[in-house]
Amino acid sequence: MAGLPGAIVETLGKKILNGELKPGDVLPAETVYLSQLGVSRTTLREAIKVLAAKGLVLAKPKTGTVVRGREHWNLLDPAVLTWEAASDGFADTLGELFEIRRLVEPEGAALAARRHDAAAALAMQAAFDALGPHADAGAAALDVDITFHLTILQAAGNRYLSSLGAVIDTVIRSTARLALGRPGGLGYSMGLHRAVLDAVLARDEAAARGAMHRLLADAEEDAQQVLERGQ
Protein backbone atom coordinates (compact mmCIF):
# COMPACT_ATOMS: atom_id res chain seq x y z
CA MET A 1 0.00 0.00 0.00
CA ALA A 2 1.57 3.27 -1.11
CA GLY A 3 1.35 6.87 0.05
CA LEU A 4 0.24 8.25 3.39
CA PRO A 5 -2.20 5.42 4.19
CA GLY A 6 0.59 2.89 3.63
CA ALA A 7 2.97 4.82 5.87
CA ILE A 8 0.38 4.90 8.66
CA VAL A 9 -0.35 1.18 8.24
CA GLU A 10 3.35 0.36 8.52
CA THR A 11 3.90 2.61 11.53
CA LEU A 12 0.97 1.20 13.50
CA GLY A 13 1.55 -2.36 12.28
CA LYS A 14 5.13 -2.34 13.54
CA LYS A 15 4.04 -0.94 16.89
CA ILE A 16 1.53 -3.76 17.26
CA LEU A 17 3.99 -6.47 16.22
CA ASN A 18 6.66 -5.03 18.54
CA GLY A 19 4.29 -4.97 21.48
CA GLU A 20 4.36 -1.20 21.83
CA LEU A 21 0.61 -1.41 21.22
CA LYS A 22 -0.72 -4.44 23.09
CA PRO A 23 -3.88 -6.54 22.66
CA GLY A 24 -6.79 -4.70 24.22
CA ASP A 25 -5.20 -1.28 23.85
CA VAL A 26 -7.50 1.32 22.36
CA LEU A 27 -5.94 3.47 19.67
CA PRO A 28 -6.04 7.21 20.35
CA ALA A 29 -9.10 9.06 19.11
CA GLU A 30 -9.14 10.17 15.49
CA THR A 31 -8.66 13.78 16.51
CA VAL A 32 -5.41 12.88 18.28
CA TYR A 33 -4.01 10.98 15.31
CA LEU A 34 -5.13 13.63 12.87
CA SER A 35 -3.21 16.19 14.87
CA GLN A 36 -0.12 13.99 15.32
CA LEU A 37 0.10 12.74 11.76
CA GLY A 38 -1.20 15.75 9.89
CA VAL A 39 -3.37 13.66 7.55
CA SER A 40 -7.00 13.74 6.54
CA ARG A 41 -9.71 11.75 8.27
CA THR A 42 -10.22 9.77 5.03
CA THR A 43 -6.54 8.80 4.90
CA LEU A 44 -6.53 7.68 8.52
CA ARG A 45 -9.72 5.64 8.14
CA GLU A 46 -8.35 3.97 5.01
CA ALA A 47 -5.25 2.91 6.96
CA ILE A 48 -7.33 1.56 9.86
CA LYS A 49 -9.41 -0.50 7.42
CA VAL A 50 -6.22 -2.10 6.07
CA LEU A 51 -5.04 -2.95 9.59
CA ALA A 52 -8.46 -4.42 10.34
CA ALA A 53 -8.29 -6.57 7.22
CA LYS A 54 -4.97 -7.95 8.48
CA GLY A 55 -6.67 -8.86 11.77
CA LEU A 56 -4.60 -6.44 13.84
CA VAL A 57 -7.35 -4.10 15.02
CA LEU A 58 -11.11 -4.08 15.45
CA ALA A 59 -13.41 -1.06 15.50
CA LYS A 60 -15.89 -1.32 18.38
CA PRO A 61 -18.91 0.95 18.80
CA LYS A 62 -18.56 3.35 21.75
CA THR A 63 -15.07 1.96 22.46
CA GLY A 64 -12.96 2.88 19.48
CA THR A 65 -10.36 0.92 17.55
CA VAL A 66 -8.92 -1.89 19.67
CA VAL A 67 -5.73 -3.88 19.10
CA ARG A 68 -6.60 -7.56 18.65
CA GLY A 69 -4.83 -10.58 20.12
CA ARG A 70 -2.25 -12.48 18.11
CA GLU A 71 -4.69 -15.33 17.49
CA HIS A 72 -6.64 -12.98 15.20
CA TRP A 73 -3.68 -11.72 13.17
CA ASN A 74 -3.27 -12.83 9.58
CA LEU A 75 0.26 -14.12 10.13
CA LEU A 76 0.61 -15.21 6.51
CA ASP A 77 0.01 -11.70 5.25
CA PRO A 78 3.32 -10.63 3.64
CA ALA A 79 3.31 -7.26 5.43
CA VAL A 80 2.60 -8.85 8.82
CA LEU A 81 5.38 -11.38 8.24
CA THR A 82 7.77 -8.59 7.31
CA TRP A 83 6.91 -6.63 10.47
CA GLU A 84 7.27 -9.83 12.50
CA ALA A 85 10.75 -10.37 11.10
CA ALA A 86 11.75 -6.87 12.20
CA SER A 87 10.26 -7.21 15.69
CA ASP A 88 12.07 -7.90 18.96
CA GLY A 89 10.30 -11.24 19.33
CA PHE A 90 11.47 -12.66 16.01
CA ALA A 91 13.72 -15.23 17.70
CA ASP A 92 10.59 -17.03 18.91
CA THR A 93 9.11 -16.94 15.42
CA LEU A 94 12.16 -18.08 13.47
CA GLY A 95 11.74 -21.77 14.29
CA GLU A 96 8.12 -21.74 13.19
CA LEU A 97 8.99 -20.08 9.89
CA PHE A 98 11.62 -22.72 9.19
CA GLU A 99 9.02 -25.36 9.99
CA ILE A 100 6.89 -23.89 7.19
CA ARG A 101 9.86 -24.04 4.83
CA ARG A 102 10.55 -27.68 5.78
CA LEU A 103 6.91 -28.57 5.17
CA VAL A 104 6.88 -26.95 1.72
CA GLU A 105 10.29 -26.79 0.08
CA PRO A 106 11.59 -30.38 0.32
CA GLU A 107 8.36 -31.72 -1.18
CA GLY A 108 8.44 -28.91 -3.72
CA ALA A 109 11.95 -30.00 -4.71
CA ALA A 110 10.79 -33.63 -5.03
CA LEU A 111 7.89 -32.56 -7.25
CA ALA A 112 10.26 -30.43 -9.32
CA ALA A 113 12.47 -33.49 -9.81
CA ARG A 114 9.49 -35.47 -11.06
CA ARG A 115 7.77 -32.84 -13.20
CA HIS A 116 10.20 -30.23 -14.49
CA ASP A 117 10.39 -29.65 -18.23
CA ALA A 118 13.23 -28.30 -20.35
CA ALA A 119 12.25 -24.67 -19.77
CA ALA A 120 12.12 -25.18 -16.01
CA ALA A 121 15.51 -26.91 -16.10
CA LEU A 122 17.03 -23.91 -17.86
CA ALA A 123 15.41 -21.52 -15.36
CA MET A 124 16.72 -23.49 -12.38
CA GLN A 125 20.21 -23.67 -13.84
CA ALA A 126 20.17 -19.93 -14.54
CA ALA A 127 19.00 -19.22 -11.00
CA PHE A 128 21.84 -21.29 -9.59
CA ASP A 129 24.41 -19.69 -11.90
CA ALA A 130 23.31 -16.26 -10.61
CA LEU A 131 24.23 -17.26 -7.06
CA GLY A 132 27.99 -17.36 -7.58
CA PRO A 133 28.71 -13.73 -8.50
CA HIS A 134 26.60 -12.53 -5.56
CA ALA A 135 27.70 -15.06 -2.94
CA ASP A 136 29.19 -12.39 -0.67
CA ALA A 137 27.04 -9.46 -1.76
CA GLY A 138 24.57 -8.98 1.10
CA ALA A 139 21.20 -7.78 -0.20
CA ALA A 140 22.00 -8.90 -3.74
CA ALA A 141 22.79 -12.39 -2.41
CA LEU A 142 19.43 -12.45 -0.64
CA ASP A 143 17.54 -11.66 -3.85
CA VAL A 144 19.29 -14.31 -5.94
CA ASP A 145 18.92 -16.90 -3.17
CA ILE A 146 15.17 -16.27 -3.01
CA THR A 147 14.96 -16.53 -6.79
CA PHE A 148 16.69 -19.92 -6.66
CA HIS A 149 14.26 -21.30 -4.10
CA LEU A 150 11.17 -19.91 -5.83
CA THR A 151 12.32 -21.26 -9.20
CA ILE A 152 12.55 -24.74 -7.68
CA LEU A 153 8.99 -24.38 -6.34
CA GLN A 154 7.71 -23.11 -9.68
CA ALA A 155 9.23 -26.15 -11.38
CA ALA A 156 7.06 -28.34 -9.13
CA GLY A 157 4.17 -27.62 -11.48
CA ASN A 158 1.53 -27.14 -8.77
CA ARG A 159 -0.69 -24.13 -9.44
CA TYR A 160 -1.80 -23.90 -5.81
CA LEU A 161 1.77 -23.98 -4.59
CA SER A 162 2.60 -21.23 -7.07
CA SER A 163 -0.29 -19.16 -5.72
CA LEU A 164 1.48 -19.12 -2.35
CA GLY A 165 4.38 -17.32 -4.00
CA ALA A 166 4.04 -14.04 -2.08
CA VAL A 167 3.82 -15.84 1.26
CA ILE A 168 6.71 -18.20 0.50
CA ASP A 169 8.77 -15.28 -0.80
CA THR A 170 8.26 -13.41 2.48
CA VAL A 171 8.96 -16.47 4.66
CA ILE A 172 12.18 -17.18 2.75
CA ARG A 173 13.18 -13.51 2.83
CA SER A 174 12.53 -13.28 6.58
CA THR A 175 14.72 -16.28 7.36
CA ALA A 176 17.35 -16.10 4.62
CA ARG A 177 18.37 -12.54 5.48
CA LEU A 178 19.68 -13.95 8.77
CA ALA A 179 21.19 -17.08 7.26
CA LEU A 180 23.19 -14.86 4.92
CA GLY A 181 24.36 -12.70 7.80
CA ARG A 182 27.41 -14.77 8.71
CA PRO A 183 30.83 -13.91 7.24
CA GLY A 184 31.07 -15.37 3.76
CA GLY A 185 27.30 -15.28 3.35
CA LEU A 186 25.92 -17.48 0.62
CA GLY A 187 29.34 -18.76 -0.40
CA TYR A 188 29.38 -21.29 2.44
CA SER A 189 26.25 -23.05 1.21
CA MET A 190 26.92 -23.11 -2.54
CA GLY A 191 27.64 -26.83 -2.36
CA LEU A 192 24.28 -27.47 -0.68
CA HIS A 193 22.47 -25.42 -3.34
CA ARG A 194 24.35 -27.35 -6.03
CA ALA A 195 23.25 -30.67 -4.48
CA VAL A 196 19.59 -29.58 -4.65
CA LEU A 197 19.88 -28.56 -8.29
CA ASP A 198 21.77 -31.68 -9.33
CA ALA A 199 19.20 -33.97 -7.69
CA VAL A 200 16.28 -32.13 -9.26
CA LEU A 201 17.82 -32.15 -12.73
CA ALA A 202 18.63 -35.87 -12.31
CA ARG A 203 14.93 -36.47 -11.51
CA ASP A 204 15.93 -38.11 -8.23
CA GLU A 205 13.01 -37.21 -5.96
CA ALA A 206 14.42 -38.72 -2.76
CA ALA A 207 17.79 -37.03 -3.27
CA ALA A 208 16.13 -33.70 -4.05
CA ARG A 209 14.02 -33.91 -0.91
CA GLY A 210 17.01 -34.82 1.23
CA ALA A 211 19.25 -32.15 -0.28
CA MET A 212 16.67 -29.46 0.40
CA HIS A 213 16.29 -30.65 4.00
CA ARG A 214 20.06 -30.34 4.46
CA LEU A 215 20.13 -26.89 2.89
CA LEU A 216 17.34 -25.68 5.19
CA ALA A 217 18.98 -27.21 8.28
CA ASP A 218 22.18 -25.34 7.44
CA ALA A 219 20.28 -22.10 6.85
CA GLU A 220 18.41 -22.42 10.16
CA GLU A 221 21.63 -23.03 12.07
CA ASP A 222 23.18 -19.95 10.47
CA ALA A 223 20.13 -17.82 11.22
CA GLN A 224 20.06 -18.90 14.87
CA GLN A 225 23.74 -18.08 15.26
CA VAL A 226 23.26 -14.63 13.78
CA LEU A 227 20.34 -13.96 16.14
CA GLU A 228 22.37 -15.14 19.12
CA ARG A 229 25.12 -12.71 18.17
CA GLY A 230 22.51 -9.97 18.13
CA GLN A 231 22.89 -9.13 14.45
Same domain, 119 and 218: yes
Same domain, 222 and 135: yes
| Domain shared by 98 and 15, yes or no | no
* Size (the chain), residues: 231
Q: Examine residue 80 and state whether it is found in any structural domain, yes or no.
A: no
Torsion angles phi and psi, residue 206, rounded to 5: -65, -40
pTM: 0.81
Domain at 107, CATH number? 1.20.120.530
Residue 153 has pLDDT above 60, yes or no: yes
What residue numbers bound the domain in which 57 lies? 3-72
164 & 68 share domain: no
Whether residue 195 has pLDDT greater than 60 = yes
Domain containing residue 47: CATH number: 1.10.10.10
Average pLDDT of span 28-54: 85
- Per-residue confidence band for 166, with pLDDT thresholds at 50, 70 and 90: confident
Total of domains in the chain: 2
Mean pLDDT, rounded, for 18-37: 85
* Of 27 and 174, more confident: 27
